Amino acid sequence: MGAFFDYPHRRYNPLADEWVLVSPQRTQRPWHGQIETPAVDPVPAYDPTCYLCPGNTRASGARNPHYTTTYVFENDFAALLPATPPNELRESAFFQAQSVRGICRVICFAPQHNVTLADLEPAALRAVVDTWVAQMAELSSHPELNYVQIFENHGAMMGASNPHPHGQIWGTAHIPQLVAREQATQAAYYAQHGRTLLADYLEQELERTQRLVCANASFVALVPFWAVWPFETLVISRRPHTTLLDLAEDERTDLATLLQQLIRGYNALFQTSFPYSMGFHQQPCDGEAHPEWHLHAHFYPPLLRSATVRKFMVGFELLGEPQRDLTPEQAAARLREALGSGLTYAQ
Ligand code: H2U
Ligand code: ZN
């Protein structure tokens, strides 16, 4: 396969049913540019102007409790509202719309303003996973909600509004379209093979090894064969769980540990608090059984060559299909090297 992968080619993403264009010849020339790390102003452990810090008042006028672990509240500027009147527009093929209902929450990962998931002690890190599971349990049993999206936008480059460690949780009455697409591909695969698509994919990646980044007894992080973002990764549970609710005690701890290890590897790579959007994909909570679903998390980080040089999805990518230069195999090797370097990035 070597020569084949040295030339421009397209790779298929069976989970999203999409193609990505890979142009490895563009990285044949080694890159000797300066890797500059932007100076970061020291961040205090408590910021009186932060709307997420314990005891502070939010934009809505609500006051945060003096929380000591994680803290979840309803988003004061929620994108979805729980009681939107039901409505549907089908005027013609061109004018179709439907009302949506949902619940949007913000989760503070820790009371300290100046930490990230990379810095949390094991117990505090595990508390984040436990809070995700508790939120999932509550929102997935809500009669009006059919899907729960847990995610984190990390870093200003990814649109995070505040350095205080936090993520979001959106419960929706509808199944979002990217989730619906993954559901269709996984259902078709399961119907044909009686196993989940990601169980079989993971098995084959574990044999091939070149795209693996890190792993423990319960989870594996790898750069998928079809990665679009330069250092995109997929975190897959070894057992074919359909949601976070299925995780056993040790698997929750393993998830926390693996996420932290992966984020530390990202941070070591360019000596920066690596920006990313990450989130879990899991089965809809629509009252149906979904044996085809396989719990996983996607990490979509924008950085390409340094703490400041990012990948842009423009031009051909907006008009044709996504394109990458660095191969997924090269990206995985770089991440493994960063993880093994022992380098840490402290904010
Ligand atoms: P992001 O940093 O990923 O945007 O998440 C922060 C969320 O916090 C954002 O969705 C909400 C914003 O609406 N927020 C509040 O709910 N209350 C506030 O006082 C400010 C921000
Ligand atoms: Zn804060």
Ligand nearest to the CA of 53: 2
What's the confidence (pLDDT) of residue 151? Answer: 98
Segment 158-170 mean pLDDT:
94
CA 194 to CA 325: how far, in whole Å? 36
Q: Is 63 in the pocket of ligand 1 (CB under 6 A)?
A: no
Reported as a pLDDT band with limits 50, 70 and 90, residue 347 is very low
Nearest CA to ligand 1 atom 17: 76
Torsion sign over Cα 157, 127, 70, 53 = negative
* Residue from 53, 75, 108, 158 whose mutation best tests the ligand 1 pocket (most atoms within 8 A of CB): 75
Higher pLDDT, 144 or 29: 144
Mind telling me the catalytic residues? 166
Ligand nearest to the CA of 161: 1
What's the confidence (pLDDT) of residue 30? Answer: 53
For tokens 């994919």, name the residue: 201
Tokens of 53: 């810090």
Q: Among 175, 158, 105, which residue's Cα sits nearest to residue 278? A: 158
Tokens of 136: 């999932």
The answer, yes or no, to whether residue 42 has pLDDT greater than 90, is no
Segment 164-182 mean pLDDT:
98
* Residue from 52, 77, 107, 116 whose mutation best tests the ligand 1 pocket (most atoms within 8 A of CB): 77
Q: Which long-range contacts (CB under 8 A, 24 or more apart) does 6-12 make?
A: 10/321, 11/225, 11/226, 11/328, 12/226
Segment 287-311 mean pLDDT:
95
Segment 33-62 mean pLDDT:
85
Q: Quote the ligand 2 centre to 119 CA distance (angstroms).
A: 15
Q: Quote the ligand 1 centre to 161 CA distance (angstroms).
A: 7
pLDDT digits (tens, 9 = 90+) for 235-260: 999 999 999 999 999 999 999 999 99
pLDDT digits (tens, 9 = 90+) for 288-298: 999 999 999 99
3-state secondary structure of 281: strand
What's the confidence (pLDDT) of residue 105? Answer: 98
Q: Quote the ligand 2 centre to 98 CA distance (angstroms).
A: 37
How much is the mean pLDDT over the chain? 94
Q: Quote the ligand 2 centre to 138 CA distance (angstroms).
A: 26
pLDDT digits (tens, 9 = 90+) for 75-120: 999 999 999 999 999 999 999 999 999 999 999 999 999 999 999 9
Residue-range domain boundaries for the chain? 36-339
Reported as a pLDDT band with limits 50, 70 and 90, residue 311 is very high
The answer, yes or no, to whether residue 36 has pLDDT greater than 60, is no
Tokens of 188: 């078709």
CA 64 to CA 102: how far, in whole Å? 23
Q: Which ligand 1 atom minimizes the distance to the CA of 59?
A: 19
For tokens 């990665």, name the residue: 227
Ligand nearest to the CA of 44: 2
Element (H, E) at 269: helix 249-270
Fold type of domain 36-339:
HIT family, subunit A (3.30.428)
What's the confidence (pLDDT) of residue 345? Answer: 65
- Position 144, amino acid: E
* Residue from 47, 161, 162, 170 whose mutation best tests the ligand 1 pocket (most atoms within 8 A of CB): 161
The answer, yes or no, to whether residue 168 has pLDDT greater than 70, is yes
Q: Quote the ligand 2 centre to 13 CA distance (angstroms).
A: 39
Reported as a pLDDT band with limits 50, 70 and 90, residue 39 is low
